[in-house]
Amino acid sequence: MSAKTEKLLSVLKLQPVVPVLIIEDVAHAVPLARALVAGGLKAIEITMRTAAALDAIKAVANEVEGAVAGAGTILNAKHFEQAVAAGSQFIVSPGSTRGLLDAARDSDIPLLPGAVTSSEIMALKEEGYDVLKFFPAEQAGGANYIKSLSSPFAGTLFCPTGGISLKNAKDYLSLPNIVCVGGSWVAPKELVAAGDWAGITKLAAEACALRG
């Protein structure tokens, strides 16, 4: 196992659920991350889907004790480099491209690339990746699909994201080839907008307890 894979696993194994955040207002980043960390969710994926994303990553990386800030929805080498410069300690992509893999190869920051099909998994394994994102999980076949991958791809671990909630997370977490799941339900838009950080801490604690 490579040093970068070990580094990635050390992050993903911190908790059963990695929060997947879409932060519209950078002012929410620090109190939101603090609320999640207080509930036990230290590794936090901030997606590059908003203009505030890079500033949010920087704020969480610099100001939130105990948080491990990561960047998600990384689609190309430029995104990768921007996210690393902002302080990301892990990078998540829904898929992979040659440019993205080249950027990751030259960096000390680990990449969690996405794969769904057998061919995509095989291609990434050839590149040395044994820990993969599976997105969109529910829409692409769910827990049963990922379970079926465990035999032909023994030793490959997945972090599924997409359509996962408190209700079905245990279906995934019970599988031997799942390292953790990604979920947005721990930080609902309405609670973030209301500044209900105690409510988010409660949701984070419930998610943290999924793997008791």
Residues classed as catalytic? 45, 133
Number of other CB atoms surrounding residue 42 within 10 Å: 20
